[in-house]
Amino acid sequence: MTIEPTEDHKAGGLFVMKCGGSTLAALPDSFFDDLRELQESGAQPVIVHGGGPAISGNLEKLGIESRFVNGLRVTTEEVLDVVEMTLSGSINKAIVRRIQGSGGQALGLSGVDGRLITARLVANSDEVGLVGEVTEVNAEIVQGVLAMGYIPVIAPIGVDAGGQRYNINADTAAGAVASFIGSPQMIVVTDVPGIMRTLDGRKTVLPSVTVGQIEDLIESGEIYGGMIPKVRAAIDCIQGSVSEVVIVDGKEPRVLSRVLQGEELGTRIIRS
167 is in an annotated binding site: yes
Residue 129 near ligand X2W by CB under 6 A: no
- Interface residue with ligand ADP among 11, 22, 120, 241 (CB under 6 A) is 22
- Interface residue with ligand X2W among 44, 102, 169, 185 (CB under 6 A) is 169
73 is in an annotated binding site: yes
CB of 30 to ligand ADP, least distance (A): 19
* Subset of residues 51 to 90 that bind ligand ADP, contact rule: CB under 6 A: 52
Binding partner of 119, given ligand X2W, ligand ADP, none, CB within 5-8 angstroms per partner class: none
Q: Which residue is nearest to ligand X2W (CB)?
A: 50
149 is in an annotated binding site: no
- Interface residue with ligand X2W among 47, 58, 73, 109 (CB under 6 A) is 73
Sheet of 44-49: strands edge to edge?
106-110, 151-155, 44-49, 14-19, 185-190, 244-249, 267-270, 208-210
Asked whether the beta carbons of 87 and 51 are under 8 A apart, the reply is yes
Residue 92 near ligand X2W by CB under 6 A: no
Binding partner of 55, given ligand X2W, ligand ADP, none, CB within 5-8 angstroms per partner class: ligand X2W
* Subset of residues 10 to 69 that bind ligand X2W, contact rule: CB under 6 A: 20-22, 50-52, 55
Question: What HEC string does the chain produce?
Answer: CCCCCCCCHHHCCEEEEEECCCCHHHCCHHHHHHHHHHHHCCCEEEEEECCHHHHHHHHHHCCCCCCEECCEECECHHHHHHHHHHHHHHHHHHHHHHHHHCCCCEEEEECCHHHCEEEEECCCHHHHECEEEEEEECHHHHHHHHHCCCEEEEECEEECCCCCEEECCHHHHHHHHHHHHCCCEEEEEECCCCCEEEECCEEEECCEEEHHHHHHHHHCCCCCCCHHHHHHHHHHHHCCCCCEEEEEECCCCCHHHHHHCCCCCCEEEECC
* Subset of residues 106 to 135 that bind ligand ADP, contact rule: CB under 6 A: none
Binding partner of 195, given ligand ADP, ligand X2W, none, CB within 5-8 angstroms per partner class: ligand ADP
Phi–psi pair at 78, nearest 5 degrees: -65, -45
- Interface residue with ligand ADP among 13, 132, 226, 266 (CB under 6 A) is 226
CB of 32 to ligand X2W, least distance (A): 18
Give, as one character, the DSSP assignment of residue 20: -
- Interface residue with ligand ADP among 95, 223, 233, 259 (CB under 6 A) is 223
Residue 238 near ligand X2W by CB under 6 A: no
Binding site for ligand X2W (CB under 6 A): 20-22, 50-52, 55, 72-73, 83, 131, 156, 167-170, 226
Binding site for ligand ADP (CB under 6 A): 20-23, 50, 52, 190-192, 195-196, 222-227
Query: Which positions make up the binding site for substrate?
Result: 51-52, 73, 167
